[in-house]
Structure 1
Amino acid sequence: MEKEEPVTVHHLDKLKEKPDVHEARQKLNADAQESAELAHSLSISDAIRAYPMALFWCFAISMCIIMEGYDQILVPSLFAYPTFQKKYGEFVDYGSDGQPRYQLTAAWQAGLGNAAVVGAFAGTLINGYVVDIFGHRHVLQASLIAMIGSIFITFFSNTVSVLCVGQLIAGVPWGIFATVAPAYASECLPMKLRVYLTSWANMCFCIGQLIAAGVLRGLSGRTDEWGFRIPFALQWVWPVILIPLLYFAPNSPWHEVRKGRIQNAESNLRRLQKSSTGIDVSKTLAEIIHTNDFEQEMSVGTTYWDCFKGVERRRTEIACMAFVGQVLSGSNFAYNSSYFFEQLGLGTSTVYSLSIGGLALAFLGTLINWFFCMPYFGRRFLYISGMASMSIVLVTIGILNVWRSRTSVIYAQAGLAMFWNLLFDMTVGQLGWAIPAEIGSTRLRQKTICLARVSYYLVNIVAGVLQPYFMNPSAWNLRGYTGFFWGATGFFVFVWAYFRLPESKDRTYEELDMLFSMKVNARKFKQTDVNLYSGGERETAAK
């Protein structure tokens, strides 16, 4: 008996003028339902076996983010680097050893810390348009080529102003990298795996920051300019590796469906899925088309303005706040802690050793999250509990600052900052990437992620301006008391998340569409049943 071929929109186009188009539509719905049921029943190990190439390409594309993570910690860490201070800073006084001491002013610290953020802000907004036109692969390759040129400016800069311009220009491709990777992962992987590879972006940040800390620790003994120019030059390594590799990456099948290129979508799915595992590519494609059709019925557009219309406004708010929470949890204070450690009175070698230790804990936190948290706990629980825990740690650092003259207290504050790194990457650090990548509608996913990341950059710019003034001895010189401020902002996000953050674990994109369209309360998302196919109608019913 001949095997019955699943029906897709490609088939429907051929049947538009035929009387059995309704039957074809019912077949499409049946295939989509079967694919959705399989998505729920698929175990993580089965999903890994079924999507090996999708995992590979998601890992490869996310590797671009290593460069942003590398630079994100590189420049702030150089503020405590003696040769960098001498090159770009101003004379302050003579140290106890009789040697002159230099410091960058708080204004230039803020300027250098935010230059790349401003550039990334522009790159993120641009990305929302260009990816929709050209697709993820072409945009990434163009950005990597631009990255190669921008590094020349930072490497050869002789003044702090030129260095600032170089950071500004380099930020544009970084903004693109940071928003392409989670969107690509969310569209190429099954439901059981999407949270791991959307949050893998955070792991790439950890890897980049760990590499930067190790490089700086290894070069901290140099007394010439190569001590900070070599770290800049190492940024050329990644584009050389990734440009030829990404040439072969498939485009997202969701992107192809939105563009009406159904055959291309099916071809890309076959490159991402392993057919020998029993997963029918045509039925996966039917689910993508079914979801896209539903969103079109809901009048979901594809522009930035559409992100602020109707139910999409709520989804955009959640995506933006989830990302902004990474900053308001105190990341500018505790995550980039080299300068904080220096202001505590620790030596350069100890500062960078502690920084490496903190980043190693961040890496460990990511693994704990993957293997012991996300498989068993929901996004909502982890985000809320993480935000509460980090706020308590930050306030404790502030309280301990009352006794900052004691050596034991100094190391206790440093230890708490490192512990904060562990908590951050077990919870908010990961989910700040994963939630925006899955909470928006599929037709607006890339733009929702871009808006969320833009919100992150805007808040990060403000935080990047404030943080040097909090810490700089020639400015407010608050040291550990800064923990009170960030503890308060973290508590604000905790309150928001309790009332507004819904649970998206184990939900297909179409189920999320339905829950949002029915305006289900955030605290009831987990307890609400969604039946998309009963009697041919989409409906929800609370348990």
Structure 2
Amino acid sequence: MSANRELGNDPKVVVVDNDELLGKLDHQFVKDAAKADADEHNITLKDAFYKHKKAIIWSMALSGALIMEGYDVVVIGSFYGHPKFLQRFGVPVPLSVSENGYVIPAEWQSALSNGSSAGGIIGLLINGWAADRFGPKIVMLTAIVALTAFIFLSVFANSLGMLVAAEVLCGIPWGVFQTLTTAYASEVCPIQLRGYLTAYVNLCWGVGILLSSGVVKASIPIQSQWSWRLPFVIQWVWVIPLFIIVWFAPTSPWWLVRNGRLEEAEDTLMRLTNPEVYSRQDAKNTVAMMVHTNELEKQETAGTSYIDCFRRTDRRRTEIVMMVFAMQLLSGQNLIGQGVQFLQTAGISTNLAFSLNMVLNSMFIIGTFASWGLISIFGRRTIYCVGMGTMSLVLWVIGGLGFVHSKGAIFTIGGLLIGLNFVYNASLGPICYTLIGETSSTRLRQKSIALSRIAYQIMNIICGIIVPRMLSPTSWNWGAKSGIFWAASAGLCTIYCYFRLPETRYRSYGQLDLLFENKVPAWKFASTKVEQFSTADHSSYSPAVAADKKELGHDVVHLEH
């Protein structure tokens, strides 16, 4: 596909020529696609909720898998300050070093933290291929069954080595959950709802993490080895409900379209919508729009392999989604994940540290609710950039307080850490899922999201190596001073976001394809208008473009197929 700029180097409108596509799709088919695109852009938020309420329910139910993962992934980190776990697996240290008299060596903390990340990378790579080959539902059901078996290793582990092995194996199905839930939320809902339901994924993480904090704190008084085994046992509670939800969930219509099963895609859309306001013809129009977008992407990148993610315009899209996920940790969020240990090294008692950790983790839920309000007012790019910059400022303050040795400074650090988590979960945390779901092309979405999460897991492994050493009293022992390191990291990320992070709000997937293909700068995505349905003589299947051309004169980019 080539671009011909009629005037200037600063286009305000991107127009695509559909003439070549008309060799594959007839006029009526493209007209139906244009109608579905116009309906999706023009529908109000209230009407979108009413029309797609079933899709909302299914998306939220399937995202419940992240509650399970959020619980599982974080529970091991909470054990680093758990008295019974430390007595069973820790090494003795003077009480002046740890009030429990034991610590988990930094190298074993790294192994435990990185075990699930290593397994997650394997699971993500498998899922990126298997979800396209066999369908998301089959892959998800298989992952749930596998996780059910792997949990046994965690519950009955008798050494740190066995726990590491359990973390690696459990990480494989967790990697599957991470990709499929986000992709599903981005594919079953219209433009107006995508931001809310992809951000909801972060809330599910938060619910799981908060449950983990509560269960671990409640298990501390138990005077036996079940004090640390019980939190692992609870992982089995939601296996059966989740299996049932996935079994009955409608298949993604985008996956059906990519596999040529158009009638099934229409049937799925009818299951996901309200029949009172959504007809069979509406379903046909929507499928036509999906086919049209799929054909546009095939002209740019015919393949759907991992290598295709790094070719032509998809290279830029892959870079963005990988960085967006990696920046979750580069922002300093990893200090929050080690909340209990961070607070203990700052000088707070074990019991108070676990109590503050629950407040800290509640910010995942409160912050996500706040993000929904921000999404309705601001664009994704604005929220992410401002959130990253704010985290950098807060981390500078936390790092500076690490040099102040007073009780007031200690409690201020605890309060700032809670505030830091709120900022993260009102901006970076939820908006990350929205951006990766919208930025990737529809044909490569499973693999793009898998690669983005792999970037996160690689960064998580790096952080899993250095953060325990930053905080451990038997290693680097930086304590709160480590905030300075992460403040600088978040500052650099803010600069990256300004120059590379595009605005995806209110854009259909076809429009995003054209913006990336035309190499529109990230800061101009919001102001550039796109006409997806036009012909070589500049006529259009969409009446909106005529008004745009009249308003903007001849400042148009014309893309020929």
Query: How many equivalent residue pairs?
Result: 520
* Residues 115-194 of structure 1 aligned to structure 2 (within 5 Å): 115-194=115-194
The answer to whether residue 369 in structure 2 is matched with residue 367 in structure 1 is yes
Could you tell me whether the CA contact under 8 Å between 1:43 and 1:192 is conserved in 2?
Answer: yes
Could you tell me whether the CA contact under 8 Å between 2:399 and 2:482 is conserved in 1?
Answer: yes
Query: Which of structures 1 and 2 has the larger relative contact order (alpha carbons within 8 angstroms, sep 6+)?
Result: 2
Q: Output one character per residue of 1:195-222: Cα deviation in whole Å (capped at 9) or x when no partner.
A: 1111221111100000001111212222
Q: Output one character per residue of 1:333-355: Cα deviation in whole Å (capped at 9) or x when no partner.
A: 12431110111221222111101
Give the secondary structure class of the aligned counterpart of 2:248. Answer: coil
Task: Tell me the CA shift for residue 72 of structure 1.
Answer: 2.3
Task: Tell me the CA shift for residue 95 of structure 1.
Answer: 5.8
Give the secondary structure class of the aligned counterpart of 2:402. Answer: helix
Mean Cα displacement is larger for which, 339-348 or 516-525? Answer: 339-348
Residues 23/106 of structure 1: CA separation in 2 closer, same or farther (3 Å cut): closer
Instruction: State the superposition RMSD in angstroms.
Output: 1.8
Q: Output one character per residue of 1:373-395: Cα deviation in whole Å (capped at 9) or x when no partner.
A: 00110000000000000011111
Q: Output one character per residue of 1:383-430: Cα deviation in whole Å (capped at 9) or x when no partner.
A: 000000001111110001111x21010000011011001000000001
Task: Tell me the CA shift for residue 262 of structure 1.
Answer: 1.1
Could you tell me whether the CA contact under 8 Å between 1:322 and 1:431 is conserved in 2?
Answer: no
The answer to whether residue 366 in structure 2 is matched with residue 354 in structure 1 is no
Give the secondary structure class of the aligned counterpart of 1:499. Answer: helix
Give the secondary structure class of the aligned counterpart of 1:519. Answer: coil
1:245 corresponds to: 245
Residues 23/165 of structure 1: CA separation in 2 closer, same or farther (3 Å cut): closer
Could you tell me whether the CA contact under 8 Å between 1:178 and 1:201 is conserved in 2?
Answer: no
* Residues 230-269 of structure 1 aligned to structure 2 (within 5 Å): 230-269=230-269
Give the secondary structure class of the aligned counterpart of 2:102. Answer: strand
In 2, the alpha carbon distance for the partners of 1:368 and 1:89 equals 39
In 2, the alpha carbon distance for the partners of 1:96 and 1:332 equals 23
The answer to whether residue 472 in structure 2 is matched with residue 472 in structure 1 is yes
2:502 corresponds to: 502
Amino acid at match of 1:86: Q
The answer to whether residue 85 in structure 2 is matched with residue 81 in structure 1 is no
1:37 corresponds to: 38
1:515 corresponds to: 515
Residues 494/542 of structure 1: CA separation in 2 closer, same or farther (3 Å cut): farther
Give the secondary structure class of the aligned counterpart of 2:101. Answer: strand
Task: Tell me the CA shift for residue 433 of structure 1.
Answer: 1.3
1:339 corresponds to: 341
Residues 103/542 of structure 1: CA separation in 2 closer, same or farther (3 Å cut): farther
In 1, the alpha carbon distance for the partners of 2:100 and 2:380 equals 51
Could you tell me whether the CA contact under 8 Å between 1:215 and 1:231 is conserved in 2?
Answer: yes
In 1, the alpha carbon distance for the partners of 2:556 and 2:353 equals 53
The answer to whether residue 318 in structure 2 is matched with residue 313 in structure 1 is no
In 2, the alpha carbon distance for the partners of 1:466 and 1:156 equals 29
Amino acid at match of 1:196: Y
Could you tell me whether the CA contact under 8 Å between 2:62 and 2:245 is conserved in 1?
Answer: no
Amino acid at match of 2:229: R
1:205 corresponds to: 205
Task: Tell me the CA shift for residue 24 of structure 1.
Answer: 6.5
Amino acid at match of 1:336: Q
Q: Output one character per residue of 1:468-493: Cα deviation in whole Å (capped at 9) or x when no partner.
A: 00000000000011001111111111
Q: Which 5+ residue runs of structure 1 have no aligned equivalent?
A: 1-20
Mean Cα displacement is larger for which, 45-54 or 508-517? Answer: 45-54
Residues 96/517 of structure 1: CA separation in 2 closer, same or farther (3 Å cut): closer
Residues 336/277 of structure 1: CA separation in 2 closer, same or farther (3 Å cut): farther
1:380 corresponds to: 381
In 1, the alpha carbon distance for the partners of 2:491 and 2:302 equals 34
1:70 corresponds to: 71
Mean Cα displacement is larger for which, 293-302 or 60-69? Answer: 293-302
Could you tell me whether the CA contact under 8 Å between 2:33 and 2:289 is conserved in 1?
Answer: yes
Give the secondary structure class of the aligned counterpart of 2:443. Answer: helix
1:398 corresponds to: 399
Give the secondary structure class of the aligned counterpart of 2:403. Answer: helix
2:493 corresponds to: 493
In 1, the alpha carbon distance for the partners of 2:226 and 2:91 equals 20
2:114 corresponds to: 114
In 1, the alpha carbon distance for the partners of 2:388 and 2:242 equals 35
In 2, the alpha carbon distance for the partners of 1:401 and 1:128 equals 43
In 1, the alpha carbon distance for the partners of 2:152 and 2:462 equals 28
Give the secondary structure class of the aligned counterpart of 1:402. Answer: coil
In 2, the alpha carbon distance for the partners of 1:509 and 1:96 equals 55
In 1, the alpha carbon distance for the partners of 2:556 and 2:321 equals 24
Mean Cα displacement is larger for which, 429-438 or 417-426? Answer: 429-438
Could you tell me whether the CA contact under 8 Å between 1:124 and 1:179 is conserved in 2?
Answer: yes
Task: Tell me the CA shift for residue 542 of structure 1.
Answer: 6.5
Task: Tell me the CA shift for residue 100 of structure 1.
Answer: 6.8
Could you tell me whether the CA contact under 8 Å between 2:330 and 2:490 is conserved in 1?
Answer: yes
In 1, the alpha carbon distance for the partners of 2:97 and 2:386 equals 45
Task: Tell me the CA shift for residue 301 of structure 1.
Answer: 2.0
Give the secondary structure class of the aligned counterpart of 1:85. Answer: helix
Mean Cα displacement is larger for which, 34-43 or 414-423? Answer: 34-43
Could you tell me whether the CA contact under 8 Å between 1:75 and 1:113 is conserved in 2?
Answer: yes
Give the secondary structure class of the aligned counterpart of 1:275. Answer: coil
In 1, the alpha carbon distance for the partners of 2:458 and 2:29 equals 43
Give the secondary structure class of the aligned counterpart of 1:294. Answer: helix
Give the secondary structure class of the aligned counterpart of 1:27. Answer: helix
Amino acid at match of 1:88: F
In 2, the alpha carbon distance for the partners of 1:296 and 1:22 equals 14
Per the normalisation by structure 1, the TM-score is: 0.93
Per the normalisation by structure 2, the TM-score is: 0.90
2:271 corresponds to: 271
Could you tell me whether the CA contact under 8 Å between 2:70 and 2:204 is conserved in 1?
Answer: yes
Task: Tell me the CA shift for residue 278 of structure 1.
Answer: 4.0
Could you tell me whether the CA contact under 8 Å between 1:529 and 1:542 is conserved in 2?
Answer: no
Amino acid at match of 2:422: L
Q: Output one character per residue of 1:159-215: Cα deviation in whole Å (capped at 9) or x when no partner.
A: 111011111100000000011001011111111111111122111110000000111
Amino acid at match of 2:88: K
2:13 corresponds to: none
Mean Cα displacement is larger for which, 85-94 or 225-234? Answer: 85-94
Amino acid at match of 2:315: R
The answer to whether residue 458 in structure 2 is matched with residue 452 in structure 1 is no
In 2, the alpha carbon distance for the partners of 1:151 and 1:24 equals 50
Amino acid at match of 1:527: S
